[in-house]
A and B are shown apart, each in its own frame.
Chain A
Amino acid sequence: MHKVFAIIRREFVERVRQRWFWIMALLGPVFFGAVFLLPSLLMGKSSLKHIAIVDGSTTGIGKAVALQLDTTRVRSVLVAPGPHVADSLLQAVGAKQLDGFLLVSDLLPDSGQAEYRASNVSSFTTIGELESALQRVASGVRLQREGVNPAAIARARIHVDLKTTKISGGKTTGESAAQSFSLAYFMGIILYMAILLYGINVMSSVLEEKTTRIVEVLVSSVKPFQLMLGKVIGVGAVSLFQFLIWGLAGRWVFRYRHALGADAPGADAGLFTMPHVTLDTAVVFLCYFIGGFMLYSAMFAAVGAMSSNEQEARQAQQPVSMLLVLSFISMFAMLNDPGSTFAVTLSLIPFTSPIAMPVRWAAGNLPVSQVVLSLAILAASIVAITWVAARIYRVGILMTGKRPNPKELLRWIRTA
């Protein structure tokens, strides 16, 4: 046990000392922070827009629109139509004196037509505000035409305001759906990346000991299984340490999100709102990460043991990585319908469950019994796969020369 601990310690210390560990530790939160904050920063920081309204109507529609826009972040000036107005406005936009100009005419209430020309027509907030202002004016005029008196329309306007409240009420539920979606999505990405990255780390570590032949000295002192176990636990501990750093950084970003500008107006319009991670979600995540890592790193260790150089190993690890890629790709279909037979099946199969089950857990309420069943299958598979992998490992680490074919591999497993 003393020796296994020394192996764990070596794997851990040597990795944490490496530069790439700290690069990952730093880049991780920067990356996640960017994904969460960038949309809000871009949307929240949208400044006041200055536009001109060219009123070609006979009933003062332009003025009505300008009035509506006063309550938004769009400032407008009224311009009378003329032969050279469009040209001079174009120049003003070109010189960045104006953000754009809106062309309204009697067509607005008649057929709902208006035109907005601007340097940037992809700003959803501005377009949205313009559209709703035009909408209100158009419907107001049409209602008046139907004989509704202006007082009723004023009341209707209040109603429209109420309707806005309703929309933001709908947003509250929409927001939590977006939150659980982004949580599921990010858990899937992190699980996929971490299992793949650290699994391959185990493989390289096996390969290093094999190619430097130091493994001969090691297995004359410890059992190959102890060596493999120490390696898997050591590398796993590094990844948990990495998560700890990320988790703390994530909490920090979450706590100071106001200072970082994530709560600016319009910030929550983004799909990737900062998810709230509950304790049971964290536990599920960690259980499946540890399980998935153990399962895959045992396979990666076997792959490392049966290869004799990096190139061979890269080739031989493809089937193992494919299993992971498969679960990662399926994640998108599962997010669509976390309760489907497809999703349930994947969350029970041990090779896909480490990604599938946490994703389903984050996406929606899940019966605990399913999680327990899936974990039990995963645990049993870890035992079985580790048994097979350890046998391949034991024979493989001392072999040089060509990679074994499946038949030889079976013989290794039988006779080791």
Chain B
Amino acid sequence: MSAQFVTELTILMLAIFLGFEVISKVPTLLHTPLMSGTNAIHGIVIVGAIIVTGAHHPGLFMKIVCFVAIVLATANVVGGFVVTDRMLEMFKKRRDEP
């Protein structure tokens, strides 16, 4: 097993524990924005889409697959953040507390 793989596994494990820790603090009030927000975060696959598109790939078929991957990942990122923002904008505290 390569050293790099072990390092990556370590990062994975720590990130999972961190994720549980941070997310368990999110109130049920915000669970829908949490879902769409994490949705936007997994849009990070756009990084992967850019990397595979940017490397040399002969053939039209692979170019089409790359194009589709870019479209899907971009829609994921943009849609995810925009819709989360739209939701969070609506959460307001009582305006004039007596």
Query: Are A and B associated in one complex?
Result: no
| Interface residues of B, Cβ cutoff 8 Å to A | none
| Interface residues of A, Cβ cutoff 8 Å to B | none
